[in-house]
Amino acid sequence: MAKKKVFIVDDHPVVRQGLAAFINGEDDFAVCGDAEDADGAIRLINNLRPDIIIADLSLRGTGGIELAAAVKARFNIPVLILSMHDENFYAERAIRAGARGYIMKKESMETVVAALRDILAGKIYVSPDLKERLLGRLLTAHDATSSPLDSLTNREMDVFRLVGRGLSNRHIARELSLSVKTVETYRSRMIDKLKLKDSSELIQYAVRWNQSLDSDR
C-alpha cells in the first residue's frame, strides 16, 4: 500500500524535524516536504500535492488558520492545525475556516498520527473534551454562547492575543510579520468592533481574556 504523503508547516526547524522523524517511522506515512511559512508552503504544496498537511497555528505572516482556508479553496487538501494555543477558542475558528482537525502541541506524537489517520478517513479531529463542549453548544441558544470576540477576524484575534500578552505595536508587528501601521489599524478596528472606549480598555480586555485561558488550562 502506498504511503500517504504528509507536508509540515512550522516556523521552528526542531519541530519540523521531530515530527518528520516520527511520522516517517510509521508504515503508512511519509513526509514529502516542509516549509516555515504559508507562502513557502503554498508554492511547495502546488508541486508536491501531499495527501494531508500539518500546520502550526502561529506562523509568521499568514497564520495557520488562513493557510488552512487557502489550501481548502485551492487544493482541497485536509489540514491538521497543531498549536500551543488554547483549543477552547481557536479550534472552532480553525474548523470553520476549513481545517479538518486541531490538536495541542502538548499531545503525544502517537496522538498526532492518530489524528492524521482519522482525518484521512473522512473524520474531523478534535480532543474528546472539546468535542463534548462543541456538542453542548449545539444544544444551547446561540445568544447565550456567542462572544463579542466572534466579530473579530482571525488576524485581528492574533493581534488581540498578543496585546493581551503585553506586547507593543512594534513587537506585535515583528511577531506577525506586519507593519506597525497595520497593527495600529487592527487595534482601531478591534476597539470599534468590541465597542470599547480606547486602547487602554482594549488592553485590559485582552489581558483578562488571556488570563481566563490560562485559568482554564
| Digit-coded pLDDT (tens) for 79-126 | 999 988 777 778 888 998 899 999 998 999 999 999 999 999 999 999
Pairwise CA distance, residues 179 & 154, whole Å: 17
Q: How confident is the model at residue 145 (pLDDT cuts 50, 70, 90)?
A: low
Quick check: is 142 in a domain?
no
75 in the same domain as 128: yes
CB contact at 8 A, 161 and 186: no
Residues 153 and 184 in one domain: yes
Q: Count structural domains, the chain.
A: 2
Element (H, E) at 52: strand 52-56
CA 47 to chain centre: 24
φ and ψ of 74, to 5 deg:
-90, -40
The domain of 131 spans: 4-137
- Phi-psi label, residue 194: left if phi above 0, alpha if psi -120 to 50, beta otherwise: alpha
Cα separation, 82 vs 112, in Å, equals: 9
Average confidence (pLDDT) over 189-205: 93
Residue 2's DSSP bridge partners are: none
Strands 29-35 and 4-9: parallel
User: Are 51 and 4 spatial neighbours (Cβ–Cβ below 8 Å)?
Assistant: yes
pLDDT of residue 44: 96
Of 92, 119, 137, the position where a domain reaches its end is: 137
pLDDT more than 70, % of the chain: 93
Provide the pLDDT for residue 168.
93
Residue 42 covered by a domain:
yes
Per residue in 150-182, pLDDT (tens digit) is 888 888 888 998 999 899 999 999 888 889 999
213 versus 78: the higher-pLDDT residue is 78
Q: Is 27 in contact with 56 (CB distance < 8 Å)?
A: no
